[in-house]
Amino acid sequence: MTVTTYQPGEIQGLIEIQASKCKGCDACQKFCPTNAIEGASGAVHSINKEKCLSCGQCLINCPFGAIIETHSALETVIAKLADKDVKVVGIIAPAVRVAIGEEFGLGTGELVTGKLYGAMNKAGFKIFDCNFAADLTIMEEGSEFIHRLHANVKGEADAGALPQFTSCCPGWVRYLETNYPSLLPNLSTAKSPQQMAGTVAKTYGAKVYAMQPENIFTVAVMPCTSKKVEASRPEFNSAWKYNQEQGANVAEYRDVDAVLTTREMAQLLKLLEIDLAKTPEYEGDSLFSEYTGAGTIFGATGGVMEAALRTAHKVLTGDEMAKLEFEPVRGLAGVKAASVTLFDQSLSQDVTVNVAVVHDMGNNVEPILRDIMAGISPYHFIEVMNCAGGCVNGGGQPIDGNGSSWIGNI
Amino acid sequence: MNNKKHVFAEDSFFISRRKFMAIGAAFIAVMAIPVGWFASKVAKRNDYIKARSAGLYKDDAIAKLRVSHANPAVEKYYKEFGGQPLGHMSHDLLHTHFVDRTKLNS
């Protein structure tokens, strides 16, 4: 009997504590959402990989820099960039554009979309903004929510489960899969923006780029370490399956071939001697770099909910929201709840939607899940993100400025 | 003949002064962590979160289009290729299924 919470082929043990550097200070344990870090105070700690979500919060908060990622695609990506027969598509997540500048001496939170496009273009990437895929996610996930809402209001027998959870955060998805599988029907079936981007790049994108899909190499640039595990999930080969059905006969490929964290992308640019801070701005090179404000706020806690409400309002009432900023879901409260009443045209009645936004999941989500299981949850739609603050504070973001490794190499 | 070599070697039982200092510093650091460390770390972290979030909200505020359903590229995707949200193609390409990992665990 093998004890494992992983499917075959998935990356296991992505986050590791280096025994030689660990001082047993327990700091990492305070940031771990699943108590996956074992070892007594003062003794060298280790990570229980069955419980670990690979979120990397321990990594960015270790005062000794003792925690590392075991898998890096950096060399593979550099080799692919040099290969003339391959088109390397860089999928840039929302939260990367407000953090990668820090690695090049720019200010904290400085928005560097144009410079990042320019630097990646110089390195040889085609630009595929993940924000485009975030817009796509809103279309799918928002439609799914409206579908479930209507079916529930009408009392249809096979109405989907409410509340509906967002499914963008791989740490959260794995948490639910490992701890509360009975709530999986509540999870939106929409893929995360990363996986949508990979699939679209190798199906519709292959037509746009006029390329064979097998010659497209997709590299997601993410603020998140857990995205590496997500990309390795065996079911994420939809583009290959689709193209096989269309008559292709080639070896299996992944929707997302490689994932680089924000830190690794900065490292790649430095290796190629591209200084992002000095790179001229660049507009992008295809329709996949077109995105909206709704897509970009995905990187902050509450962003998915705000983006979804903007679209749901339009779909349900027929009108755009008068004020697009939806303040109740912004900010750093652990659980943010709001109620929205709007006139639903297709039902010809007022509908009140209760939404909740949860981040810093390890500290905040459990009471909400218990209420749902007890059948007393007031919510219809819940956004959950594992990391405090959302992806902007993901485990793949720049560390130094974040105050980690403050004791250095003693 | 005198074969005895006189080389300076640190006694392996005792640690060097440099190493002693390092361990001492680490010890002090570990002792210092529970007192106030967590609160100040979280406060500092929140400053970063706020600055980066502000960057994203700025990106939203300056965007020409601010709602997903108005993205012309998304519209083009559905028109030329994807059909419609929740449609057949979306089901195949943009949705997924989840895994009960407690079953994998048994």
Q: Which of residues 2-21 of B touch A (CB under 8 A)?
A: none
What does the block give as tokens for A371? 């209420």
Asked if the bond preceding A185 is cis, omega within 30° of 0, the reply is: no
**Domain match, B55 and B25 both:** yes
For domain A15-69, the CATH class is alpha beta
* Closest of A64, A54, A53 to residue A27, by C-alpha: A64
Question: Which residue blocks in A277-360 are alpha helix, DSSP H?
Answer: 293-296, 303-317
Q: Collapse the DSSP code of A164 into the 3-class scheme (helix H, G, I; strand E, B; otherwise coil) and give the result.
A: strand
Does residue B88 belong to the interface with chain A, where contact is any CB pair within 8 Å? no
* Closest of A72, A78, A76 to residue A125, by C-alpha: A78
Where residue B42 falls among pLDDT bands split at 50, 70, 90?
Answer: confident
Radius of gyration of chain A (CA): 21
Q: Is residue B106 part of a domain?
A: no
Q: What is the pLDDT of residues A60-80, one digit of tens each?
A: 999 888 999 999 999 999 999
Q: Which of residues 198-257 of A touch B (CB under 8 A)?
A: 199-200, 203-204, 207, 235-236, 238-239, 241-242
Does residue A25 belong to the interface with chain B, where contact is any CB pair within 8 Å? yes
What does the block give as tokens for A391? 């992806």
Catalytic residue among A28, A52, A130, A168: A168
B92 vs A242: CA distance, rounded Å = 8
**Domain match, B26 and B53 both:** yes
**Domain match, B70 and B59 both:** no
Domain range summary for chain A, segments of one domain joined by +: 15-69, 73-133+193-293, 140-189+298-393
The structure's pTM equals: 0.91
Phi, psi angles (nearest 5°) of residue A92: -100, 120
Please tell me the predicted confidence (pLDDT) of residue A410.
37
Parallel, antiparallel or unpaired: strands A37-38 and A46-47:
antiparallel
* Burial environment of residue A32 by CB neighbours within 10 A (0 to 12, 13 to 18, 19 or more): buried
Where residue B34 falls among pLDDT bands split at 50, 70, 90?
Answer: low
* Closest of A387, A371, A336 to residue A183, by C-alpha: A371
Q: Collapse the DSSP code of A17 into the 3-class scheme (helix H, G, I; strand E, B; otherwise coil) and give the result.
A: strand
What does the block give as tokens for A191? 């893929």
A185 vs A201: CA distance, rounded Å = 28
User: Which residues from A are below 8 Å from B93, CB to CB?
Assistant: 196, 199-200, 203, 238-239, 242
B38 vs B60: CA distance, rounded Å = 32
Q: Is residue B29 part of a domain?
A: yes
Phi, psi angles (nearest 5°) of residue A167: -125, 25
Q: Rounded to 5 degrees, what angle do the CA atoms B88, A131, A244 make?
A: 35
B12 vs B9: CA distance, rounded Å = 8
Query: For A352-383, b where at least 16 C-beta lie within 10 A, e where not — what string?
Result: ebbbbbbbbbbebbeebbeebeeeebebbbbb
B24 vs A23: CA distance, rounded Å = 12
Q: Is residue B5 part of a domain?
A: no
* Closest of A357, A328, A395, A397 to residue A163, by C-alpha: A357
Q: Is residue B103 part of a domain?
A: no
- Of residues A286 and B76, more confidence is placed in B76
By the 8 A CB rule, do B63 and A293 touch? yes
User: Which residues from A are below 8 Å from B68, CB to CB?
Assistant: 134-136, 138-139, 142, 292, 294-295, 307, 310-311
Bridge partner list, A218: A89
Q: Is residue B56 part of a domain?
A: yes
**In 10 A of CB A346, how many CB atoms?**
10
Q: Rounded to 5 degrees, what angle do the CA atoms A75, A80, A84 make?
A: 150
Whether A27 sits inside 8 A of B33 (CB atoms) is yes
Q: Is the pLDDT of residue B5 over 70?
A: no
Q: B27 lies in which domain range?
A: 15-63
Tell me what percent of the residues of chain B surpass a pLDDT of 90: 54
| Mean pLDDT, range B6-13, rounded to an integer | 56
Whether A392 sits inside 8 A of B26 (CB atoms) is no
Bridge partner list, A258: A219
**Domain match, B45 and B73 both:** no
By the 8 A CB rule, do A133 and A349 touch? no
**In 10 A of CB A268, how many CB atoms?**
23
Please tell me the predicted confidence (pLDDT) of residue B38.
79
Q: Is residue B45 part of a domain?
A: yes
By the 8 A CB rule, do A389 and A296 touch? no
Annotation says A32 is catalytic: no
If you measure CA to CA, which chain A residue comes closest to B85? A140
Q: How many CA atoms does the CB half-sphere of A217 hold within 13 Å?
A: 19
For domain A73-133+193-293, the CATH class is alpha beta
**Domain match, B23 and B38 both:** yes
Annotation says A22 is catalytic: no
Q: What is the pLDDT of residues A146-194, one digit of tens each?
A: 999 999 999 998 889 999 999 999 999 999 999 999 999 999 999 999 9
Q: Collapse the DSSP code of A355 into the 3-class scheme (helix H, G, I; strand E, B; otherwise coil) and give the result.
A: strand
* Closest of A55, A59, A75, A62 to residue A16, by C-alpha: A59
Please tell me the predicted confidence (pLDDT) of residue A1.
47
- A140-189+298-393: CATH, from 3.40.950.10, 3.40.50.300, 3.20.20.80, 3.30.70.890: 3.40.950.10
What does the block give as tokens for B94? 């943009």
A170 vs A6: CA distance, rounded Å = 13
* Closest of A111, A92, A77, A116 to residue A276, by C-alpha: A116
For chain A, list residues with pLDDT below 50. Answer: 1, 401-403, 408-410
Does residue B56 belong to the interface with chain A, where contact is any CB pair within 8 Å? yes
Does residue A30 belong to the interface with chain B, where contact is any CB pair within 8 Å? yes
A31 vs A255: CA distance, rounded Å = 31
First to last CA, chain B: 72
Q: How many CA atoms does the CB half-sphere of A350 hold within 13 Å?
A: 5
Query: For A84-97, b where at least 16 C-beta lie within 10 A, e where not — what string?
Result: eebbbbbbbbbbbb
Does residue B104 belong to the interface with chain A, where contact is any CB pair within 8 Å? yes
Question: Which residue blocks in A11-64 are alpha helix, DSSP H?
Answer: 27-31, 57-61
A241 vs A173: CA distance, rounded Å = 23
Number of domains in chain B: 2
Å between B6 CA and nearest CA of chain A: 31
Q: What is the ipTM of this complex?
A: 0.94
**Domain match, B55 and B39 both:** yes
First to last CA, chain A: 43
Catalytic residue among A54, A167, A188, A289: A188
A269 membership: H or E segment, kind and range: helix A262-271
